[in-house]
Amino acid sequence: MKEKIAFRDAQKECIDGQALRKYQLERLKETVGHALRTPFYQHRLNKVGIRSSDDIRSLKDLERIPFTTKDDLRESYPRGLLATDMKKVVRVHTSSGTTGIPTVIYHTQEDLDNWTELVVRSIVACGVTSDDVFQNMMTYGMFTGGLGLHYGAERLGALVIPSGSGNTKRQLQLMKDFRTTVVHATPSYMFHFSSKIGELGFTVEELNLKKAFLGAEPYSENTRKKIEEFFKIDVYNSYGLSEMNGPGVAFECIYKTGMHLWEDAYILEMIDPETKKNLGDDTQGELVLTTLCRQATPLLRYRTRDLTTVVKGNCPCGRTHRRISRIAGRTDDMLIISGVNVFPSQIEQVIMKIPEVGNNYQIYLAKEGALDKLTVKVELYSKLFSGDLQDLERLKRKIQDELRASIVITPMVELHEPGSLPEFELKAKRVVDERIKI
């Protein structure tokens, strides 16, 4: 490992199990106390016999608490599950879902400070220091990814370039002129860069990039490798969601073997999304989180809808906070195609392994009579075009066969010219579902 292991606060990050559980219980009691100030949680908690924080005697009592869902948050819009005096609130973040009704999360100054501290801890774990130049190419504003990392990098003392998303040429100019070492962007934006860099008159060699934090959309291990190889950088995976502040919930360290979930700030549970039963480590399930250091919007047993697995064993970095694996999919991203569960990430993984096609793809679903028809649209990679129709037909069959091997369903495969599928700079819209919703 070429990088040194660094900590923001080694004591907190390498806390032993017993001390962590003791601390979690303390914080949980306080969080339940806060939550009881909201009519929503008062009602919910009273129903299960929790009337004050004293009713939480052990961490086991957490299981008595009903889950909080995204719908609960939506239904409480715009007042939200506010547990503090509005006067103490200094910021609000809303996130719009596909249904149009947003969720709202309020923050006090202390909440923001805690959040920022978690971000600092996270990026330090990836080797970022105050010497780094951090170019933040994420959308600012209501999207928590931009602001979250901005404040973290700033508090660490890095030089922050708040470039926001878009304007590829200017981004490259900034990277070159300010010797940017760390970028924060979506994977699709990095792919966009890789395809445009030459055309815009830049080379990877003249830049000074060392690391990238990629997030805001799911991506595969192959995507990471491709971006790492192209830019000759280290790409670190991270996990966050606006309901849990945003970035800084879980982050990889330099060993890149799963993301340490900061257990002194969140209680981690894994459940079976169907039966809602708690699962042990090493079994894929839905991640459920309870905030431990939030005053304005405490959330108890929040169902993230993200599917992941707790990584077994200890991380060589020495951190004791458990790691979660790359998000395998979202319970609400899951497509049911002719009765088979399919995650778009499975399709992405197959496509990324086929060199003759590019990185952009689209999943298109339609009805053909009573049957679901899945079409996967990919773009041909120009450098590997042989000029032969037969080769293209072979390629099409190869993609089809590999997809069938992975998702059981045989899709239609369409080959397109590069750049003809929609490419989005922030979040790529990968799935178009034209089936009639019931």
Partner 1 sequence: MKITQISVFLENKKGRLFEATKALGDAGVDIKALTIAENEDFGVLRMVVDKPQDALAAFKKNGFVASLTDIVAVEVDDTPGGLARILAVFNKNDLNVEYMYAFVEKTADKAIVVFRFDDPDKAIVILTKNNVKIVGKKEIQTL
Phi, psi (rounded to 5 degrees) for 60: -60, -30
Sheet strands (E) in 197-334: 211-214, 234-241, 246-252, 259-261, 266-271, 285-291, 302-308, 310-311, 323-324, 329-330
Residue among 337, 348, 426, 329 nearest 373 (CA):
337
Please say which residue, 389 or 405, places its beta carbon nearer to partner 1: 389
Residue among 185, 194, 182, 189 nearest 230 (CA):
194
Kindly tell me which residue out of 20, 142, 409, 415 binds partner 1, with binding defined by CB under 8 A: 415
- Contact segment (CB under 8 A) with partner 1 among 84-92, 106-114, 347-355, 415-423 equals 415-423
Least distance in angstroms from the C-beta of 399 to partner 1: 13
Least distance in angstroms from the C-beta of 382 to partner 1: 4
Distances (CA, A) of 126 to 119, 209, 400: 11, 14, 38
Least distance in angstroms from the C-beta of 318 to Zn ion: 7
Please say which residue, 273 or 418, places its beta carbon nearer to partner 1: 418
Q: Is 367 exposed, middle or buried (0-12, 13-18, 19+ CB in 10 A)?
A: exposed
77 binds partner 1 (CB under 8 A): no
- Residue 387 partner contact from partner 1, Zn ion, none using kind-dependent CB cut-offs of 5 to 8 Å: partner 1
- Residue 253 partner contact from Zn ion, partner 1, none using kind-dependent CB cut-offs of 5 to 8 Å: Zn ion
H or E, element range at 135: strand 133-136
Please say which residue, 8 or 192, places its beta carbon nearer to Zn ion: 8
Residues of this chain that bind Zn ion (CB under 5 A)? 253, 315, 317, 319
How many beta carbons lie within 10 A of that of residue 197, not counting itself? Answer: 20
Kindly tell me which residue out of 21, 155, 416, 435 binds partner 1, with binding defined by CB under 8 A: 416
- Contact segment (CB under 8 A) with partner 1 among 127-135, 221-229, 315-323, 408-416 equals 408-416
Least distance in angstroms from the C-beta of 364 to partner 1: 13
Residue among 253, 318, 251, 323 nearest 282 (CA):
323
368 binds partner 1 (CB under 8 A): no
370 binds partner 1 (CB under 8 A): no
How many beta carbons lie within 10 A of that of residue 42, not counting itself? Answer: 14
The Cα–Cα gap between 162 and 146 comes to: 8
- Residue 418 partner contact from Zn ion, partner 1, none using kind-dependent CB cut-offs of 5 to 8 Å: partner 1
Interface contacts to partner 1, rule CB under 8 A: 380, 382, 385-389, 392-393, 414-420
